[in-house]
Amino acid sequence: MRCLIAGGVGFLGSHLADRLLKDGHEVIVVDDLSSGNMRNIEHLKGNPSFSFVRHDVSEPLQVSIRVDRIYHLASLASPPGYQKRPVHTLITNGFGAYHLLNNALSMDARFLFASTSEVYGDPSVNPQPESYWGNVNPVGIRSCYDEAKRFGEAMVMAFNRKHDKQYKLIRIFNTYGPRMDLRDGRVVPNLIGQALRGEPLTVYGDGSQTRSFCYVDDLIDGIVRMMESEEVGPINIGNPDERTIQEFAQVIKKLIPTAGPITHLPLPKDDPLQRRPDITLARTKLHWEPKVKLDDGLRKTIAYFETMV
């Protein structure tokens, strides 16, 4: 098959490109390089089944050959990153979904939109099932991302209803692994980078807020299963292994002996207090569940960051 990945130079997109090429498909990566690093696809240059197009999906994309699959993963994803470029984040997700859905429609391709656990906002139920409508601050500093993803979801469902299609939605929970951007400000690269440099580990707030971290290979497998299933979703893809951020910092300290002490900084505004996926649907509909344990995934991630610091 010929697969188009919007956002294919990024952390998740480049791993998806690797997986689809390994499965024997052709891959076209479309990316505006706003956060993706060309280093992530360096190893694919020269592969005859791979091509790269520099394009911002908030503008219509002319595709001259038929593609079978369109994955929309193009978005800034780290809170400091999307808060610096809030308008770009809104239009990449929103207009991007609209334009790429039109591409899918015109070519009769399957389409998948990478939504997020952020549609649940600061959730009042834990774990979060897909049926939970969420608790998002529509005017807060995270709204440019949360509402962009919610708009993208609404756009996919509107196309499904209008055109009688089965375009797909997944909700991605916190994911980590090699090729994360060391400087994007998220907790995984921040703490690993700090530990490798022998600096204090910055835990925001008292560290009692929780996240559930999924290793990238597990996540990519979930995405591919979703695309090839008959499901529309939304379906949560994430690892239910929930940790407080304080606990997470302690795991990093255990794995990286050079880590400095844990230090506390103010909790950013609207930071969700808890987050854990209910993956019953992924288990039953996609026969998917994560396999990689946190310590094992972090060891691989640390080995990657060691080459960067």
If the CB atoms of residues 93 and 190 are measured against ligand UDP, the closer one turns out to be 190
Nearer to ligand UDP, 167 or 173 (CB): 173
Distance CA 74, CA 58 (A): 10
C-beta separation of 104 from 227 below 8 A = no
Which H helix or E strand runs over 250?
Answer: helix 245-255
Distance of closest approach, residue 202 Cβ to ligand UDP, in angstroms: 4
Is the Cβ–Cβ distance between 112 and 82 less than 8 Å? no
Shortest distance in whole angstroms from residue 190 CB to ligand UDP: 3
Which residues face 30 on adjacent strands? 6, 53
Cβ neighbors of 14 (< 8 A, separation 6 or more) are 8, 29, 36, 40, 41, 179
Annotated catalytic residue: which of 71, 120, 145, 176?
145
121 closest CA partner among 281, 289, 269, 279? 269
Return the number of the residue (203 or 281) whose C-beta is nearest ligand UDP.
203
Q: Kindly list the residues in this chain that would bind ligand UDP in the complex (CB under 6 A).
A: 78-79, 174, 186-187, 190, 202-204, 209, 211, 245, 267-268, 271
The reply to whether 145 belongs to the active site is: yes
Task: Please name which of 62, 86, 191 lies closest in space to residue 148, comparing C-alpha atoms.
Answer: 86
Considering beta carbons, is residue 103 or 209 the nearer one to ligand UDP?
Answer: 209
At closest approach, how far in Å is the CB of 208 from ligand UDP?
Answer: 10
We find the least distance from the C-beta atom of residue 265 to ligand UDP, in angstroms, to be 7
Phi and psi angles of residue 26, each rounded to the nearest 5 degrees, phi first:
-90, 145
**Residues acting as catalytic residues:** 145
